[in-house]
Amino acid sequence: MSLKLNYQLMKASEVNATLDRMASEILEANNGRPVVLIGIQRRGVPMARRMALRMAKKTQREPQIGTLDINLYRDDLTRVASQPVVQKTEVPPNIDDRDIVLVDDVLYTGRTVRAALDALCDFGRMRTIQLAVFIDRGHRELPIEANFIGKKITTKDSEVVEVKLTEIDGEDAIYVMEKI
């Protein structure tokens, strides 16, 4: 499958402003209670780290951060790849009765989040699990809804939203691509 650029949705300054706003919304919604940010591999991890730094500037305490690989929990694993690439999972100890914020780049069908919930529940019984996504593009196949959304957009099934982050891609930007 090849992709053709349709348009740039966000440039670097907008990406950073959106992360600032989302970090503030998470703090406000949790009334100052400490949260644990869990980034879903790949791009959810640097997003969670950036939000944690922003939250620390506002509260003088950095939230705990974890990483979660969901590949082995996917119900569409054979459709995604013949050989899954398993990445690091590091969830802080003792997350029982804690408020967790799962962080991911794009919410589309809901299948990634469903797999993340399955994986996360193997680590304990959290007080709450909230979801923060940078882009919500609709088209759900499962009844999943984000608590914190960077930007909600309308897309076609033939489009792909690519979130680019400096830590992985060398730039901060969001593009909407067309499958060709």
What mean pLDDT is predicted for residues 77-96? 73
What mean pLDDT is predicted for residues 45-59? 97
Total number of domains constituting the chain:
1
Q: Is residue 20 a part of any domain in this protein?
A: yes
Q: Is residue 161 a part of any domain in this protein?
A: no
Please give the pLDDT value at position 73.
84
Please give the pLDDT value at position 88.
83
162 DSSP β-pair partners: 175
Q: Is residue 24 a part of any domain in this protein?
A: yes
Q: Is residue 82 a part of any domain in this protein?
A: yes
What mean pLDDT is predicted for residues 12-34? 97
Q: With helix as H, strand as E and coil as C, how does the chain read?
A: CCEEEEEEEECHHHHHHHHHHHHHHHHHHCCCCCEEEEEECCCHHHHHHHHHHHHHHHHCCCCEEEEECCHHHCCCHHHHCCCCCCCCCECCCCCCCCEEEEEEEEECCCHHHHHHHHHHHCCCCCCEEEEEEEEECCCCCCCCCCCEEEEECCCCCCEEEEEECHHHHCCCEEEEEEEC
- Say whether pLDDT at 2 is over 70: yes
- Say whether pLDDT at 82 is over 70: no
Average pLDDT across the chain, whole number? 93
Please give the pLDDT value at position 18.
98
- Predicted TM-score of the model (pTM): 0.92
* Structural domain that includes position 22: 13-155
The string of pLDDT tens digits covering residues 138-150 is: 999 999 999 999 9
Look up the CATH number of the domain holding residue 55.
3.40.50.2020
Q: Is residue 175 a part of any domain in this protein?
A: no
